[in-house]
Each structure stands twice: as structure tokens, then as C-alpha cells.
């Protein structure tokens, strides 16, 4: 056993932490959040640090397979600016990790170098209107003239308005048995219309509605190549591992960010002649949060370590993801209570953690459906 | 025992519900939240329909209602637009009720008929930058200079302060923490009074302000209750707390009601989509839990209210009610966010709006921690 980060990842953490301290100041983040625009400048600067290829093989100009390292980057970004963490997850986890693992040779050649070098924003177009959990897929990909024609509506797709690549889940009627298929679709293809939706938090990393009208793709655009027709449901399992590990990492970053912010206030604010942190009603509330952050972080690191070792770790990832969401929200909500009236004003940052953290209830999937997966690993679902 | 509402209370509920159905469709509520503007229009309409008379004594042209009537009104308004219940509080609670409980006859005669007609709003200025939970740490000075008192200092988080006609202002007039506090009826048009609205997470449109008093002159007859009430401010305020806690409880109950209804509609819709008489036990149990907790909160609140109408002094029960309703409301709103998922996270959803609204109910009017202090004290601790 060894709970220390290896040298490489210790350097990754220190580099991203320094960068976040310098670039994601509370003034900068506060202003970006208020505007709600995509943080293009920061994202570009972040790309130059070279962390986007963390889960891209060296043959494609990436770092190989450093999933824990990528989680550390997500965590540190989410500490100060959760929406930017989401922007980073998009090329790194949704693009790099997924294409590296499931892409065909042609797709790897087409996308991975750009992902590693240019941080191609990659969006997962699975959910549909009124169906955030993608329970019933109505979008169709019809086999015609040697290719496929996609029609339908997708919803709640993070960053689709900035995407270069969309991974689209569609119903393919001519497949045997399971008839869902994943396609790699150029986000700028004709027939695609993207509409951002205004949300409570994660401002800057917009959730979008997408409409597909006669969007043409070839059979080579099926994720993993032609032979993966109809295997979307199977592929989603490993995609979900990467997606939810990233969200879990984001959760512990947010939780720590909110906690540190509240702690600082509890150490400074005086009422009844002493700093409020000395009242057990406040101090113990913070201690409780700190315990759970510690537990959640260890769960995330362990799951990431298992993923790096190519061990099967879906259960561990989902556990970390559920625990992470719970503690991120608790840390933010309790932090707000610690800050009292001040915490409720937009001038203080804790309200942003409240708005952002709640997205973890629904990012990618609901916690209930994740618990269902955990249950499945015990043979009870 | 009798758990029923009187006929006039039922009529008040129906009348209030009819008002919100007609005047506050979702788009209107969303616009108030988006713009953050004080809802002058809706306030005017409430006045025109006679709602300001609810708790005004008959001899001043009112309906002479009890705390139960007030709660019925606040609950119904909060179901549609929580912030409107707060702005209504600037008439019903901080105008009507303060004068009814603490005003002398001259003050009642001067203000109550005009309050009944919707010609005036009040605001209640207690909290200061360094007097939050430690409310008795009032620093704002009021010094007698010739015939008038001169007020200097600042107040924090005063809702309605820039639109109010009269600011009920608590000041330091003696060294004793509680027996050196005097409450003044300050004309907000007086020279030296200024109020700046603060931007907040929720309850947008409440006109919650930081207020500055610079040499504001107030005549001794404008001491709440008259000149003989010098240094009685704290005691006067104590007499208002039971009512305030219960009205805030009713606000939380209204919010819970809408969140639960939205969730039920959402889940019904989801079941319809999934078809085949599907059971969603996880979600259904959550809603069952939410509904049970709301019922408990409601009973606690109306039990305390009944005690008040019987002339008892239910300090313990109102504190329990305020604490339990606010904290349960937060819990329910959070569960609502989880059930609604991505749909609830979009700005068009009332659930995210109410989720942003509710945390302040566990802070304003005495935090949950302060309520627990009071409860513990009534238990002999």
C-alpha cells in the first residue's frame, strides 16, 4: 500500500494548483459566472498546460493512460471553478478516454491528436427531452444509401454549443437484438442545431438542446467502427465509468472549495464575542463535512487507481460518484449556513458552490440509477 | 380537539389561491426572479383585493384576523412566488402587526388605515454588519440633540428598505444589551437615510438592502409606542417573534407544497413515458418521505399558531416550528432537485427557483442554530 501520489502526479497536482491559484481568482470566476459565457480564454490557456491528452496514448501525442492524473486536474479546477472543470472533462474524459478505449483505428487517428493538442470539446449526446437519464431513446439513425441519417432531439448535453465532436446515441432499427448505436458526429455537420439552456449553475459550461434533422454519417462513424452497430448499450457501460469518475473527481474538488471557503469565514466572523467556528454548532458541522470529504476523496483516488491498473472498477466509481455528489452538496449547503446572510448574497462565493454542486444530482445520470448499478454489482438489481 | 380551519380561513385560502392562479403564472414568477425587481404591480393588486386588511383591527377598517389567517395567506402566496410573501410581510408583519402589538393609539390611527388601503409599506431594520445572530449587539446610535433624536450607523439585509415609507429602526440608546435598545419609526424620506439593494441567491425582488443613516433626525413621538417606550425596543421585539417565526414557517410550507407537487407531476410524466404500469419505488419513496415531513412541519406550525390564538406564549413551539419548517424545507427542496434532475436545474423550472429561495428561511428571523439555542433554553438547559 502507498497513499502517496507518484512523482509524476505530484507534479501534475502542484502545476494545476498553481495555475488555478493564479488564473481562477475569485474575481475572474465571479465575473465569468455572472456573464454565463463559455470561458474561452481560460480554456485556451488551460489547454496549453498539456493536460488534455492525459488519457490519450503516446502514439497520438498524449500522455498514455494517467486517469488518476486527469482526476487530480478535474479536482483542482472544480475547487475554484466547477464549470471550467467541466470544460476540461469534455476533451479529456468524454473525448480522449472514450475514443482511446472504444474508437476504431480510423477514429483514433482522426480525433486523438487534436484532443491531446487542441482540447477538442467533446459532448455526449445521450439524454433526450423529458428523459435526462436516457431511458427511452427516440432519436433514430436510419440506414440509407450506405450511410445513416440521424433524426431526433437531444437535451441537457453539456457544452454542445462549443463542441467539435458529438458522440450521439441513436436507435438503429436494422440491428439485431439490442438496437442502440453510438456515432461520432462532427458537431458542425449540416442539420444540427444547438440551443443552450439557461441553468441555475455550471454557468459557462452550458447544457444544450440539440436537434438533428437528416444529419448524414457513414457506417465508419459508428463508434468503434462498422462492426459495433447495435452495441451502443454495451459501450455505454465503459463510457459511464469514465464519465462518472470525472464527475466524482469534480465533486470532491467542489466540496473542498466550499469547505475551505466556509472555514475561512468561521475563523474570522465574530458573534457573541468569539469567532463563530468555536461554537460547536458551527465547528462540528464543519468537522462532519471534513470527515466526509476525506472519505469521498479516498474513494475517488482508489477508483482512479484501479482504472489506471485496468482493474474492473465500475462499482467503486459509482460509489465514489454517489458519495462525492452527496458531500459536495452538503459542503455547499452547510457552508451557506455557516456564512449566514452574507452567504446568501452574490458577493460571496458559497452561493455559487450551492448552485453548481446540485448539478451532480443529475450530471450524466441520476444518483438513483447509479445506486441501481451498485446494486447490480451485488447481484440485487 | 379540532383540526379544521374556520369558514373565513377557508375562504381566505381560496381567495389567495385564486389570486395566485390568475396573477402569478410561472412566467410571471420567473420574471420577478430574473429581473430581481420589487413586485410593485402584484403588491398593488394584493392591496386592491383587500389582503392588507387581514390582520388589522376592525376599528381601523380591518378583518381582525389571527396568526392562523396570516399563515394561510403566506402559505398560499409562497406556493406561487415566495418573494411576494416577503414583500407582503413589509405590510402585514412589519407594518400592521408591529403597530398592532407595539404602537400607541396615535401611531395606530395614523398608519393602520393607510396600510389597509395599500398606501404604505414598512421595513424592519434590526440586523447590522456585526449584529447578526448576536442581534443584541446593536451599534446604531440614537442621541437626543435638542428636540430630536439623531440616528447614525448602518443596517444590513433589510428587506424592502429602499421602497419602504417607514423603517422600523432598532437603535442603541443605553449601555445594557437588551434594556438599552429603542425602536424608532423612521420616515425613509428623511435626510440622511439611504438604502442600497443587495444581489442575492434567491428571494430576488425582496429589495433587501444595506441601509445607511447619517444624522437622521427623528422626533421622540416616533419612538415605537411613544416617548415612554424609550429603551423598550428589545422587549417590544420579543413580542413579535412568535408571529414572525410562524409566518416564516408558513413560507417554508408553501415552498414545500409546490416542490412536492412539481415532483409528483414529473414522476407521473416519467411513468407515462416508460409505460407498462412501471413502479419507481426509489423516487416514490422519496416523495412519500417529503410529503410526510411536510405534514409534520405543517402540524407543528399550526399547533403553535393555535396556541397563540389561545393566548398562550408558545416560545418553544414557535422556535421548533421555525427551525423544523426551514430545515425540512431545505431538505425537501434538495430532494426535489434530485428527483427533477436536469429538468429541475433549468431556469424555467420553479423547483430550482424555490431551492434557491428556501435556504434564507434557515437564516433570517433567527438562524436554525439560534432557534435551537432558544429551544434548549426552554427545556431548562
Q: Dump pLDDT digits (tens) for A253-288.
A: 999 999 999 999 999 999 999 999 999 999 999 999
In a domain, A2, yes or no: no
Are the beta carbons of B127 and A207 separated by less than 8 Å?
A: no
Dihedral angle computed from the Cα positions of residues B180, B186, B190 and B193, in that order, rounded to the nearest 10 degrees = 70
B41 and B133 belong to one structural domain:
no
Residue A70 has pLDDT above 90, yes or no: yes
In a domain, B80, yes or no: yes
A374 Cβ under 8 Å from any chain B Cβ: no
The number of folded domains in chain B is: 3
In a domain, A74, yes or no: yes
Q: Dump pLDDT digits (tens) for B77-88.
A: 999 999 999 999
Backbone angles phi, psi at B339, to 5 degrees: -65, -40
Q: Alpha-carbon distance A8 to A4, whole Å?
A: 11
When pLDDT is averaged across residues A99-109 and rounded to a whole number, the result is 98
| Percent of the residues in chain A that have a pLDDT greater than 70, as a whole number | 98
Question: DSSP characters for B135-178?
Answer: TT----EEEEETTEEEEEEEEEEEETTTT-SEEEEEEE-SSSTT
When pLDDT is averaged across residues B154-164 and rounded to a whole number, the result is 98
Angle at B268 between CA B266 and CA B274, to 5 degrees: 105
Are the beta carbons of B198 and A340 separated by less than 8 Å?
A: no
In a domain, B139, yes or no: yes
Interface test with B, best of A197, A247, A271 (most B CBs within 10 A): A271
B277 and B206 belong to one structural domain:
no
Q: Alpha-carbon distance A12 to A238, whole Å?
A: 25
Q: Alpha-carbon distance B186 to B166, whole Å?
A: 5
Residue A175 has pLDDT above 60, yes or no: no
B285 and B172 belong to one structural domain:
no
Contact B140, B213 (CB under 8 A): yes
Confidence of residue A135 (pLDDT cuts 50, 70, 90): confident
B116 and B127 belong to one structural domain:
no
Q: Which residues of A touch B155 (CB under 8 A)?
A: none
B243 and B370 belong to one structural domain:
yes
ipTM for the complex shown: 0.95
Output the pLDDT for position A176: 53
In a domain, B85, yes or no: yes
Alpha carbon of B80 to those of A46, B18, B257, B346: distances in Å?
43, 11, 10, 18
When pLDDT is averaged across residues B192-212 and rounded to a whole number, the result is 98
A369 and A281 belong to one structural domain:
yes
A223 and A255 belong to one structural domain:
no
A273 and A309 belong to one structural domain:
yes
In a domain, B25, yes or no: yes
Q: Dump pLDDT digits (tens) for A178-215.
A: 689 999 999 999 999 999 999 999 999 999 999 999 99
The number of folded domains in chain A is: 3
Look at residues A189, A208, A230 and tell me which one is the last residue of a structural domain: A230
A45 and A175 belong to one structural domain:
no
Of A61-70, B116-125, B151-160, B265-274, minimum mean pLDDT range: B265-274
A18 and A56 belong to one structural domain:
yes
Residue A177 has pLDDT above 60, yes or no: no
Whichever domain contains A88, its CATH number is 1.10.540.10
Are the beta carbons of A355 and B372 separated by less than 8 Å?
A: no
Output the pLDDT for position A380: 85
Confidence of residue B274 (pLDDT cuts 50, 70, 90): confident
Interface test with B, best of A279, A326, A335, A344 (most B CBs within 10 A): A344
B224 and B248 belong to one structural domain:
no
Look at residues A211, A230, A249 and tell me which one is the last residue of a structural domain: A230
Contact A236, A224 (CB under 8 A): no
Whichever domain contains A306, its CATH number is 1.20.140.10
Are the beta carbons of A156 and B342 separated by less than 8 Å?
A: yes
Whichever domain contains A135, its CATH number is 2.40.110.10
A348 and A281 belong to one structural domain:
yes
Look at residues A67, A92, A120 and tell me which one is the last residue of a structural domain: A120
Identify the residue whose cell numbers are 377598517. B61
B80 and B134 belong to one structural domain:
no
B106 and B180 belong to one structural domain:
no
Identify the residue whose cell numbers are 428523459. A131
Question: DSSP characters for A256-309?
Answer: HHHHHHHHHHHHH-EETTEEGGGSHHHHHHHHHHHHHHHHHHHHHHHHHHHHHT
B208 and B287 belong to one structural domain:
no
In a domain, B38, yes or no: yes
Q: Which residues share a beta bridge with A364?
A: none
Residue A101 has pLDDT above 90, yes or no: yes
- Which three three-digit cell numbers place residue A205? 459550461
- Give the chain A residue whose CA is nearest to the CA of B136: A272
Whichever domain contains B165, its CATH number is 2.40.110.10
In a domain, B2, yes or no: no
Q: Dump pLDDT digits (tens) for B85-113.
A: 999 999 999 999 999 999 999 999 999 99
In a domain, B110, yes or no: yes
Of B249, B340, B322, B323, residue with least CA distance to B286 = B340
A244 and A110 belong to one structural domain:
no
B22 and B99 belong to one structural domain:
yes
8-state DSSP, A138: -
**Structural domain range at position B69:** 7-120
A111 and A20 belong to one structural domain:
yes
A17 and A105 belong to one structural domain:
yes
Contacts of B368 (CB under 8 A, 6+ apart): A337, B322, B323, B326, B327, B362
Output the pLDDT for position A158: 96
In a domain, B1, yes or no: no
Using an 8 Å CB-CB cutoff, list residues of chain B that contact chain A. 127, 130, 132-134, 137, 156-157, 198-202, 269-270, 273-274, 282-283, 330, 334, 337-338, 340-348, 352, 355-356, 359-360, 362-364, 367-369, 372
The terminus-to-terminus CA distance of chain A in angstroms comes to 33
Residue A366 has pLDDT above 80, yes or no: yes
Contacts of A146 (CB under 8 A, 6+ apart): A218, A219
A107 and A242 belong to one structural domain:
no
Q: Which residues of B touch A347 (CB under 8 A)?
A: 198-199
Q: Which residues of A touch B133 (CB under 8 A)?
A: 271-272, 276, 340
Output the pLDDT for position A286: 98
Confidence of residue A122 (pLDDT cuts 50, 70, 90): very high
Whichever domain contains B45, its CATH number is 1.10.540.10
B366 and B288 belong to one structural domain:
yes
A94 and A203 belong to one structural domain:
no
3-state secondary structure of A348: coil
Look at residues B70, B105, B120 and tell me which one is the last residue of a structural domain: B120
B244 and B370 belong to one structural domain:
yes
Mean pLDDT estimate for chain A: 95
Q: Alpha-carbon distance B96 to B89, whole Å?
A: 9
In a domain, A1, yes or no: no
Are the beta carbons of B269 and A130 separated by less than 8 Å?
A: yes
- pTM of the entire structure? 0.96
A246 and A330 belong to one structural domain:
yes
In a domain, A23, yes or no: yes
3-state secondary structure of B196: strand
Of A137-141, A293-297, B28-32, B242-246, minimum mean pLDDT range: A137-141
Look at residues B231, B255, B289 and tell me which one is the last residue of a structural domain: B231
**Structural domain range at position A179:** 125-230
When pLDDT is averaged across residues B196-204 and rounded to a whole number, the result is 98
What are the DSSP E strand ranges found in chain B?
A: 122-125, 141-145, 148-159, 166-172, 181-187, 193-197, 208-218
Mean pLDDT estimate for chain B: 97
Write the burial class of residue B49 (CB in 10 Å: 0-12 exposed, 13-18 middle, 19+ buried). Answer: middle
Look at residues B184, B202, B231 and tell me which one is the last residue of a structural domain: B231
Amino acid at each position: 500500500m502507498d497513499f502517496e501520489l507518484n512523482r509524476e502526479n505530484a507534479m501534475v497536482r502542484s502545476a494545476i494548483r498553481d495555475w488555478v491559484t493564479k488564473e481562477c481568482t475569485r474575481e475572474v470566476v465571479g465575473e465569468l459566472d455572472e456573464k454565463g459565457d463559455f470561458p474561452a480564454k481560460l480554456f485556451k490557456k488551460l489547454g496549453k498546460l498539456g493536460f488534455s491528452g492525459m488519457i490519450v496514448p503516446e502514439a497520438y501525442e498524449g500522455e498514455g493512460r494517467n486517469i488518476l492524473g486527469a482526476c487530480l486536474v478535474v479536482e483542482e479546477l472544480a475547487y475554484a471553478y466547477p464549470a471550467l472543470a467541466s470544460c476540461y472533462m469534455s476533451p479529456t474524459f468524454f473525448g480522449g478516454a472514450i475514443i482511446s478505449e472504444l474508437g476504431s483505428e480510423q477514429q483514433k487517428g482522426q480525433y486523438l491528436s487534436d484532443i491531446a493538442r487542441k482540447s477538442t470539446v467533446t459532448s455526449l449526446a445521450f439524454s433526450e427531452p423529458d428523459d435526462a437519464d436516457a431511458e427511452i431513446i427516440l432519436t433514430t439513425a436510419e440506414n440509407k444509401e450506405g450511410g445513416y441519417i440521424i433524426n431526433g432531439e437531444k437535451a441537457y448535453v453539456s457544452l454542445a454549443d462549443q463542441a467539435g465532436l458529438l458522440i450521439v446515441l441513436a436507435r438503429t432499427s436494422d440491428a439485431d437484438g439490442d438496437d442502440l448505436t453510438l456515432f461520432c458526429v462532427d458537431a458542425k455537420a449540416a442539420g444540427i442545431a444547438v440551443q443552450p439552456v439557461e441553468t441555475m449553475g455550471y454557468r459557462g459550461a452550458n447544457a444544450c438542446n440539440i436537434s438533428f434533422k437528416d444529419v448524414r454519417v457513414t457506417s465508419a462513424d459508428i463508434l468503434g467502427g462498422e462492426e459495433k452497430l447495435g452495441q451502443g448499450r454495451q459501450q455505454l457501460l465503459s463510457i459511464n465509468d469514465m464519465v462518472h469518475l470525472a464527475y466524482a473527481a469534480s465533486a470532491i474538488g467542489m466540496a473542498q472549495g466550499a469547505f475551505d471557503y466556509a472555514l475561512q469565514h468561521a475563523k474570522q466572523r465574530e458573534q457573541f464575542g468569539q469567532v463563530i467556528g468555536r461554537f460547536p454548532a458551527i465547528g462540528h458541522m464543519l468537522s462532519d463535512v471534513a470527515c466526509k470529504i476525506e472519505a469521498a476523496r479516498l474513494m475517488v483516488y482508489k477508483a482512479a487507481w484501479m482504472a489506471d491498473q485496468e482493474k474492473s472498477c465500475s462499482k467503486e466509481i459509482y460509489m465514489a460518484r454517489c458519495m462525492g455528489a452527496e458531500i459536495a452538496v452538503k459542503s455547499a449547503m452547510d457552508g451557506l449556513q455557516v456564512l449566514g446572510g452574507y452567504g446568501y448574497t452574490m458577493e460571496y462565493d458559497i452561493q455559487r458552490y450551492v448552485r453548481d454542486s446540485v448539478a451532480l444530482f443529475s450530471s450524466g445520470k441520476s444518483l438513483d440509477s447509479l445506486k441501481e448499478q451498485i446494486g447490480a454489482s451485488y447481484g440485487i438489481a | 380537539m379540532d383540526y379544521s380551519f374556520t369558514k373565513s380561513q377557508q375562504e381566505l385560502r381560496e381567495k389567495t389561491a385564486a389570486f395566485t392562479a390568475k396573477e402569478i403564472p410561472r412566467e410571471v414568477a420567473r420574471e420577478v426572479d430574473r429581473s430581481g425587481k420589487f413586485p410593485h404591480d402584484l403588491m398593488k393588486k394584493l392591496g386592491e383585493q383587500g389582503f392588507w386588511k387581514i390582520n388589522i383591527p376592525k376599528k381601523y377598517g380591518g378583518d381582525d384576523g389571527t396568526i392562523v389567517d396570516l399563515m394561510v395567506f403566506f402559505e398560499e402566496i409562497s406556493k406561487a412566488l415566495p418573494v411576494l410573501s416577503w414583500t407582503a410581510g413589509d405590510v402585514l408583519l412589519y407594518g400592521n402587526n408591529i403597530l398592532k402589538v407595539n404602537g400607541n393609539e396615535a401611531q395606530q390611527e395614523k398608519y393602520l388605515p393607510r396600510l389597509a388601503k395599500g398606501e404604505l409599506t414598512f421595513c424592519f431594520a434590526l440586523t447590522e454588519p456585526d449584529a447578526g445572530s448576536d442581534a443584541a449587539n446593536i451599534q446604531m446610535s440614537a442621541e437626543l440633540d435638542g428636540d430630536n433624536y439623531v440616528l447614525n450607523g448602518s443596517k444590513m439585509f433589510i428587506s424592502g428598505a429602499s421602497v419602504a415609507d417607514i423603517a422600523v429602526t432598532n437603535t442603541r440608546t443605553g449601555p445594557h444589551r437588551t434594556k438599552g435598545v429603542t425602536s424608532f419609526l423612521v420616515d425613509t424620506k428623511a435626510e440622511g437615510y439611504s438604502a442600497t439593494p443587495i444581489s442575492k441567491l434567491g428571494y430576488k425582488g425582496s429589495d433587501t438592502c444595506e441601509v445607511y443613516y447619517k444624522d437622521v433626525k427623528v422626533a421622540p413621538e416616533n419612538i415605537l409606542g411613544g416617548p415612554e417606550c424609550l429603551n423598550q425596543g428589545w422587549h417590544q421585539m420579543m413580542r413579535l417573534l412568535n408571529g414572525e417565526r410562524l409566518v416564516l414557517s408558513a413560507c417554508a410550507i408553501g415552498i414545500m407544497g409546490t416542490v412536492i407537487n412539481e415532483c409528483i407531476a414529473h414522476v407521473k410524466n416519467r411513468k407515462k413515458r416508460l409505460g407498462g404500469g412501471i413502479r419507481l419505488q426509489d423516487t416514490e419513496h422519496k416523495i412519500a418521505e417529503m410529503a410526510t415531513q411536510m405534514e409534520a412541519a405543517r402540524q407543528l406550525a399550526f399547533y403553535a399558531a393555535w396556541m397563540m390564538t389561545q393566548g398562550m406564549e408558545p416560545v418553544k413551539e414557535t422556535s421548533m416550528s421555525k427551525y423544523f419548517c426551514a430545515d425540512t424545507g431545505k431538505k425537501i427542496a434538495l430532494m426535489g432537485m434530485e428527483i427533477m434532475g436536469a429538468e429541475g436545474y433549468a431556469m424555467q423550472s420553479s423547483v430550482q427557483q424555490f431551492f434557491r429561495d428556501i435556504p434564507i428561511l434557515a437564516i433570517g428571523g433567527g438562524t436554525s442554530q439560534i432557534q435551537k439555542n432558544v429551544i434548549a433554553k426552554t427545556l431548562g438547559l
